[in-house]
């Protein structure tokens, strides 16, 4: 049964959805914050200035309307209406931006004809005022409904903005009341006898305001960009670059490079983070180096606790055949070199199938397989190690034998306070060791417990034993021959055989892991 492949970490990282970089996010936050913050301040300031200008203009118009009201009232009381007409005419000739006007309550110009003179003479019962002969003042008709609002009770001044001929005016309609002292001439049948029209040209102010707003907007944009560049550069220096350096170190660690470190020159939060990352990388490096000398279970026990416990494990023992004689015939350097290459190849195979190296005893390797499919994975590893016999020339003719056993063992710290080893002990350990001793060069021998567990899962193909174990020739495979069946889901075995193992009163049923080409029609264990 083939094991599921571990997904490539690089491919997993490459599937990470793309997003804005940290630099881009910081620049975006800075620009948005400055634009909103400074924009609100600028908008509030501009609004305050505009409102203040409009308020001052309105107050000035009110004062001027009041003064005009008082002037007209005083002129009228002494019967000097012609002076009022002259006053209006002279004001219009001045280039001050102010325009004065007076309307009757029906909207007609107050000095456009002799209707008012005739009415006053009639109310007085005498020809007090002489009808006018000079041309009437040219006054544009009033703006309704502003005029209607000003000429009706309750009395109130009406302010509005008016445009004419490309010019803009702030305009006020001020009711002219028919006071008791005025009724002798104008009658007592109405409250409002006219509306004063006062206009001031605000076009220059609006143009200046627009120019100021344009210049302020340009200055605001320039200031936002300048501040964004300054703040962005600062943030990149104090945050982004250190974080990028930390990222590069962490990426190197994921690729197995523990040499990188982050330069720590500050004591702030980023500096503390960098120091922590350096400590983490150093710890990972030490742990990585430790795995070369200590089993993964030993390292895990330090974290998970060192209490012994009973667990089910599959043990794999491998031993180099004829190694003692080889050491007597070769120099120390040659012996260590070829042994290290042979052990390195076996360790690669064992780790590739999820096994853990428990210990090295001279030329012997003790490996432990745990978890789901442990017997199958151990046999897969044994098959590949057994296949090394076909490459014996690469290892100066040295070949290994393998023994496998499955069962309940005690796992924990063995030793005393000053020297201890986290390992496994129990009958399956002894059985695997004995089977390794019984196996000949290029053979992998499996105990009955391992075979039965795999058979329960349908992972075995069995070739019946024709001869006794010692009478049969060693099952050394040809180069490239595998112990896996053609379907890739079952292992092929030969047996059962009965062997006498040291420490066992009765003979044990064992099986040879073979490389025989057995198809689907072969006998199944």
Q: Three-state DSSP class for 453? A: helix
Distance CA 233, CA 21 (A): 15
Buried b (16+ CB within 10 A) or exposed e, 407-442: bebebbbeeeeeeeebbbebebbbbbbbbbebbbbb
Give residue 157's pLDDT: 84
Topology of 302-513 in CATH?
A: Alpha-Beta Plaits (3.30.70)
> Within 10 Å of residue 97's Cβ, how many Cβ atoms?
14
**Residue ranges for the chain with pLDDT beneath 50:** 1-7, 9-14, 474-488, 516-525
Contact 307, 411 (CB under 8 A): no
pLDDT 10s digits, 290-319: 666 555 665 665 556 567 889 999 999 999
By DSSP bridging, strand 158-164 and strand 309-321 are unpaired
- Which one, of 88, 116, 76, 102, lies nearest residue 174 by Cα? 102
Give residue 382's pLDDT: 92
| 199's tokens | 């206009």
Compute CA 97 distance to the chain's CA centroid, rounded to the nearest angstrom: 61
- Give the chain's length: 525
Give residue 238's pLDDT: 81
| 288's tokens | 């990585």
Strand residue runs (E) in 324-398: 356-361, 364-369
pLDDT 10s digits, 405-435: 999 999 887 777 677 777 889 999 999 999 9
Domain ranges (residues) in the chain = 24-208, 302-513
Give residue 515's pLDDT: 58
Q: What is the pTM of this model?
A: 0.48
3-state helix, strand, coil in the chain (%, to 5): 50, 20, 30
The CATH class for the domain spanning 24-208 reads alpha beta
| 429's tokens | 């350990």
Phi-psi region of 122 (alpha: psi -120 to 50; beta: other; left: phi over 0): alpha
Distance CA 168, CA 181 (A): 38
| 284's tokens | 């990972």
Q: Three-state DSSP class for 285? A: helix
Distance CA 143, CA 290 (A): 95
Please report which residue ranges of 107-240 form alpha helices under DSSP H. 115-124, 146-150, 183-186, 203-235
């Amino acid at each position: 049964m083939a094991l599921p492949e571990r997904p490539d970490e690089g491919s997993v990282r490459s599937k990470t959805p793309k997003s804005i970089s940290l630099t881009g996010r910081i620049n975006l936050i800075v620009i948005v914050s400055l634009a909103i913050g400074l924009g609100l301040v600028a908008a509030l300031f501009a609004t305050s200035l505009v409102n203040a200008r409009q308020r001052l203009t309105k107050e000035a118009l009110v004062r001027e309307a009041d003064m005009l009201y008082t002037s007209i009232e005083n002129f009228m009381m002494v019967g000097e209406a012609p002076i009022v007409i002259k006053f209006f005419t002279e004001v219009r000739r001045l280039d001050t931006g102010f325009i004065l006007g007076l309307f009757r309550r029906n909207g007609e110009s107050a000095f456009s004809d002799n209707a008012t003179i005739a009415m006053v003479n009639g109310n007085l019962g005498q020809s007090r005022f002489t009808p006018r002969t000079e041309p009437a003042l040219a006054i544009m008709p009033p703006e309704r409904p502003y005029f209607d609002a000003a000429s009706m009770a309750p009395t109130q001044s009406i302010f509005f903005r008016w445009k004419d001929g490309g010019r803009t005016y702030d305009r006020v309609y001020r009711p002219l009341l028919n006071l008791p002292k005025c009724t002798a001439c104008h009658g007592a049948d109405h409250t409002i006898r006219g509306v004063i029209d006062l206009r001031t040209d605000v076009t220059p102010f609006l143009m200046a305001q627009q120019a100021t707003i344009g210049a302020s907007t340009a200055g605001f944009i320039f200031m936002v960009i300048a501040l964004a560049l300054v703040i962005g550069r600062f943030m990149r220096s104090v945050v982004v670059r250190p974080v990028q350096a930390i990222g590069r170190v962490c990426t190197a660690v994921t690729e197995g490079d523990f040499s990188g470190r982050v330069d720590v020159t500050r004591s702030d939060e980023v500096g503390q983070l960098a120091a922590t990352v350096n400590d983490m990388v150093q710890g990972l490096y030490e742990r990585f180096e430790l795995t070369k000398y200590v089993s993964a279970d030993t390292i895990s026990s330090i974290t998970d606790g060192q209490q012994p416990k009973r667990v089910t494990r599959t043990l794999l023992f491998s031993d180099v055949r004829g190694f003692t004689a080889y050491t007597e015939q070769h120099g120390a350097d040659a012996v260590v070199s070829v042994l290290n290459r042979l052990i390195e190849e076996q360790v690669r195979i064992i780790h590739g199938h999820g096994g853990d190296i428990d210990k090295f005893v001279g030329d012997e390797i003790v490996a432990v397989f745990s978890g789901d499919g442990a017997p199958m994975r151990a046999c897969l590893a044994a098959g590949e190690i057994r296949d090394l016999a076909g490459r014996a020339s690469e290892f100066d003719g040295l070949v290994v034998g393998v023994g496998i056993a499955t069962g309940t063992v005690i796992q924990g710290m063995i030793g005393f306070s000053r020297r201890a080893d986290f390992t496994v002990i129990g009958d399956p350990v002894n059985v695997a060791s004995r089977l390794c001793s019984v196996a000949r060069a290029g053979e992998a021998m499996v105990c009955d417990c391992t075979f039965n567990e795999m058979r329960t899962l349908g992972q075995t193909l069995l070739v019946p034993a024709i001869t006794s174990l010692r009478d049969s020739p060693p099952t050394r495979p040809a180069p490239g021959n595998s112990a896996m069946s053609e379907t890739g889901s079952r292992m092929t075995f030969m047996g059962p055989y009965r062997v006498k193992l040291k420490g066992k009163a009765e003979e044990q049923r064992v099986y040879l892991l073979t490389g025989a080409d057995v198809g689907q029609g072969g006998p199944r264990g």
